Structure 1
Amino acid sequence: MFPRNAWYVACTPDEIDEKPLGRQICGEHIVFYRGADGQVAALEDFCPHRGARLSLGQVCEGQLVCGYHGLVMGCDGRTVSMPSQRVGAFPAIRVFPVVERHGFVWVWPGDPAQADPARIHHLFWADSPDWAYGGGLYHVRCDYRLMIDNLMDLTHETYVHSTSIGQKEIDETPVSTKTEGDEIVTSRFMDNVMAPPFWRANLRGNHLPDDQPVDRWQVCRFTAPSHVMIEVGVALAGQGGYHAPSDQKVYSIVVDFITPETETSHWYFWGMARNFNVKDKALTAQIRENQGKVFAEDMAVLEAQQQNLLAFPGRKLLSLNIDAGGVRSRRIIERLVAEEQQAAQPAAAQAA
């Protein structure tokens, strides 16, 4: 269950620098590449000749060449040429709206007429020299909503990430959840605690002591269809916590773009944006490595959870107060999917 009329992160620009990329998104097989003008193109990954995957071909002078019989495909979904063949009657293949912005390539798998680039998630930090970003990509074999549940309830950190970002105060501190239009926000503020290993390292990265009590915060924000931005950080205790001056804290945004592949798998674009020591590339690499290990722990849990859910489809799951963020996020997703299905019914009836 996923909305189709939405912008999803499809890939990062470096993934299409040298060759076409095939990726399944919301059940659609799509090939991404750069055309002759350097702009990103997104087409149905299907050669109209014999159905081969165009992504297994190559890009030659900005044109996509099928690796099976040399058919040349244009960015408009129409066949340009094929060795010794007439191609004028070849059917066009589907073209997907695609935009390169904020360091990501975004695709719209739904109705092209509704694909307004203004609806792409705004990332203020991505275009600012005052912020640094490092991240990665995981292919996760579970329903993308399980990842949203995971990110909107960080109580699991005490147990899943006990050696990095977990601490008992997460369990002991209540979480608040609120709805802001089509966004869900959960927040937790822990005062006068000792920083766990991951945050001790970041304190050192900002030239702050790592052996003093801190005030820690976690503010998770879900934005439909499947984006979760988490404001996280620690400040030396008594300096204002979340609002402490920059020289008394380490503050970051955990970036989570969760792109459905199938009903039981997704692409997880993860990273961290920070506004301290932004020119320190070694620090960026260190944070990325440590964060990657943390998310790998999540992946192991979620993939096993998915297998359990498939094995016991009739089992009812419990919802506690800590699950409120994920539950409300799912309601928004369900509403968007229902609205799309309802809008599609008159068109289907008219076609019949």
Structure 2
Amino acid sequence: MFLKNAWYVACAAGDIASKPLGRMVCGEQMVLYRGPDGKPAALEDFCPHRGAALSLGFTRPDGNLVCGYHGLVVGTDGKCLSMAGQRVGGISSIRSFPVEERYGFIWVWPGDTAQADAAKLPYLHWGENPEWVYGGGLYHVACDYRLMIDNLMDLTHETYVHAGSIGQAEIEEAPPTTKVEGSEVVTSRFMNNIKPPAFWAATLRGYGVADDLLCDRWQICRFSPPSHIMIDVGVAHAGLGGYDAPPGRKASSIVVNFLTPETETSMWYFWGMARDFKIDDEALTEMIRQGQARIFKEDLDVLEAQQRNLARCPGRRLTNMSIDSGGVRSRALIERLLAEEARPSPVSGPAVGA
């Protein structure tokens, strides 16, 4: 239940700086590496000689990939180039995948190569703006990626799952609103005149802003296909406009979530935070990263147990409530796009009278 004709984050750009990396994306086992001129490349992680994993090999100075088993050399187009003492002309090529490097990540297109278009990559203003900084990490999660979409598009769970960091009772008292804006699903929640929770109090201090005043807090979750969620979050001293409060009286950032399906019941979760303040403060970046790591780890325990329950009870009916509207609408959008992807392309027939 995942789209294949779409761009997914496969790894961070630095993950293939020195050696190939094996990774499964949407059921496709790939090897990612730096080819000629340092450009990223992605191939099927299968040596056509004896089926070894090419990700266990290495790249030559010319950027071609060498199998670590018997030394078969493969080009970035998947064609076999050479092998010591052997003729390789009759060896079949392996599949190559479209790949792009942008925003510090390596993106792959696991579907129909003919439909891959770099213009379809998401636009992330913070990823190209030198006045922003990003810090984050990666978790491998044993759950259907759609469960993570449900989780991120409904932040009501913060009160219970993240009680010691970002959760607070006021979240339940501020009902969310959900709407569709073009190709995005947007769920928003605004909480006014409240105490900042522990994580946000620490972030206010990182900004150099007083953390002992009542604040207005906001969460604006934006889902875009195939599985990316950007969340505008923050707190501002109460009564100053909340989201629109002036600098020096608020702390805000973008919680970055790239969900890359591995299989139907596992995923790669690229998470982090982008901010436009104190961008040279590496200690602050690391403090925020560690705080996020602890928060997201709490989600993983819940989601993996949820996946085990669903696998054990596949016929059990789940209930949708008003707080679930963000996830419900996001799933509906995915299902519509899946139906479009499965629809056969129109084939032109012979001209009338031919």
With normalisation by structure 1, the TM-score equals 0.97
Rounded to whole Å, the distance in 2 between the matches of 1:179 and 1:253 is 20
Q: Give the Å deviation of 1:150.
A: 0.2
1:313 aligned residue:
314
Deviations 1:53-97 (CA, angstroms, capped at 9, x unpaired): 100111121221101111011111001111110011111111100
Q: Is 1:289 matched up with 2:283?
A: no
Shift of 1:346: 7.2
Q: Distance in 1 between matches of 2:333 and 2:306?
A: 23
For the structure 1 residues 38 and 182, does the alpha-carbon distance in structure 2 shift closer, same or farther, using more than 3 Å as the test?
same
1:350 matched residue in structure 2: none
Residue-by-residue CA offset, 1:237-267 (whole Å, 9 max, x unaligned):
1111000012111110000000000000000
Corresponding residue number in structure 2 for 1:212 = 213
Letter in 2 for 1:135: G
Counterpart residue identity of residue 241, structure 1: G
Give the C-alpha shift of residue 36 in structure 1: 2.2
Aligned equivalents of 2:144, 2:191: Cα separation in 1: 31
- 2:86 is paired with a residue whose SS is coil
State the SS of the aligned residue for 2:341. helix
C-alpha distance in 2 between matches for 1:344 and 1:197 = 53
Which AA in structure 2 matches 1:143? D
Q: Please say if 1:275 is aligned against 2:276.
A: yes
> Distance in 1 between the 2:278 and 2:240 partners?
20
State whether structure 2 residue 85 is matched by structure 1 residue 57: no
CA distance in 2, matches of 1:343, 1:147: 30
Which position in structure 1 is the counterpart of 2:225? 224
Distance 1:345 1:49, change over 3 A: farther
SS in 1 for 2:260: strand
Alpha-carbon distance in 2 for matches of 1:346, 1:218: 46
Number of corresponding residues: 347
1:120 paired residue number: 121
Deviation at 1:343, TM superposition (A): 2.3
Q: CA-to-partner distance for each residue in 1:114-136, whole Å, 9 max, x for gaps?
A: 11101101110111122111000
Q: Equivalent residue for 1:81?
A: 82
Does residue 39 of structure 1 match 2:77?
Answer: no
| 2:256 is the alignment partner of 1:264 | no
Counterpart Cα distance in 1 of 2:140 and 2:257 = 13
Distance 1:293 1:138 in 2: 11
- Work out the CA distance in 1 between the residues paired with 2:140 and 2:172: 29
Distance 1:324 1:134 in 2: 29
Please give the alpha-carbon distance, in whole angstroms, between the structure 2 residues aligned to 1:91 and 1:246: 60
> Any residues of structure 2 matched to 1:90-105 within 5 Å, and which?
90-105=91-106
Find the residue that maps to 1:199 and give its secondary structure: helix
| Map of 1:248 onto structure 2 | 249
Letter matched to residue 90 of structure 1: I
Gaps (5+ residues) in structure 2? 349-354
State the TM-score, normalized to the length of structure 2. 0.96
Q: How far is 1:338 from its partner?
A: 1.1
Corresponding residue number in structure 2 for 1:22: 22
Read off the aligned partner of 1:270 and give its amino acid letter: W
- Percent identity over paired residues: 64
Rounded Cα–Cα distance in structure 2 between residues aligned with 1:204 and 1:189: 22
Instruction: Report the more deviating stretch, 336-345 or 67-76.
Output: 336-345
SS at match of 1:343: coil
Structure 1: 4+ residue segments shifted above 2 A: 343-347
In structure 2, C-alpha distance between the alignment counterparts of 1:335 and 1:109, rounded to whole Å: 19
Give the gaps of 5 or more residues in structure 1: 348-352
Q: Please list, as runs of the form range in 1=range in 2, the aligned pairs for 1:189-204 lying within 5 A after superposition.
A: 189-204=190-205
Rounded Cα–Cα distance in structure 1 between residues aligned with 2:345 and 2:69 = 36
What is aligned with 2:352?
none
- Paired residue for 1:328? 329
The 5 Å alignment of 1:111-150 reads 111-150=112-151
Tell me the distance in 2 between the aligned counterparts of 1:186 and 1:310: 28
The aligned counterpart of 1:170 is: 171
